[in-house]
Amino acid sequence: MARAILLGAAIAWVGAGVIAVLVALLGASALMAALPPLAIDLDALRGALVAIGGGMVGMAALHAVIVIGLARSSRTRHRAATGAMLLGGLLVALFIGLAAAAWASAAARPELLVLLAAAGAVAALAAAGYGLVVVRLVADRRAGDGS
């Protein structure tokens, strides 16, 4: 189950990265108009979006390497499982923080309540998914399956 969740997450990270780059290429002007006044210009916003998209694709690659490692021999699986537990724990904390921030912002900005509440729910689901990965891999390790 952990491999399936990580594979799905890799696909989601790639999709998010591609969307960020597409927004940079096609929709940065509309995004800049929707944001409060920024201290950066349009080209800087585009650069930031491309950098974020690249980071997301990098995160997808990390997930893919871990998924491949989990399907390999015992020694490689052990290392990949350790990496997956560390990555999962980090991302649980990240997504819990993002969910809390989204829900706090929703309370402060009633005009964005639906959007921010939904963003918080998605972040909470991501945290739960990564938490499940960690729990499953720790259980496997304790059971002594060689990972």
Q: What is the pLDDT of residues 23-38, one digit of tens each?
A: 999 988 888 888 778 7
118/20 Cα distance (integer angstroms): 19
Q: Tell me: the pLDDT tens digits for 38-88?
A: 778 889 989 999 999 999 999 999 999 999 999 988 888 899 999 999 999
117-124, long-range: CB within 8 Å, 24+ apart, which pairs? 123/95, 123/96, 123/98, 123/99, 124/95, 124/96, 124/99
Q: Give the per-residue pLDDT at 34.
A: 80
Q: Among residues of the chain, what percentage have pLDDT more than 70? A: 98
pTM tops 0.75, yes or no = yes
pLDDT band at 95 (very low <50, low <70, confident <90, very high): very high
Give the pLDDT mean for 5-19.
96
Residue ranges of the alpha helices (H) in 1-147?
2-22, 28-34, 42-70, 74-108, 113-143
Written as six digits, the tokens of 3 are 């491999």
Q: Pull the structure tokens for residue 129.
A: 């998914």
Instruction: Give the pLDDT confidence score for residue 145 in this predicted structure.
Output: 58
| Res. 146: pLDDT tops 90 | no
Residue range 3-12: mean pLDDT, rounded: 95
Cα 124 to Cα 140: distance, rounded to the nearest angstrom: 24
| Residue 6 CA neighbour count, 13 Å, CB half | 28
Residue matched to tokens 């402060």: 108
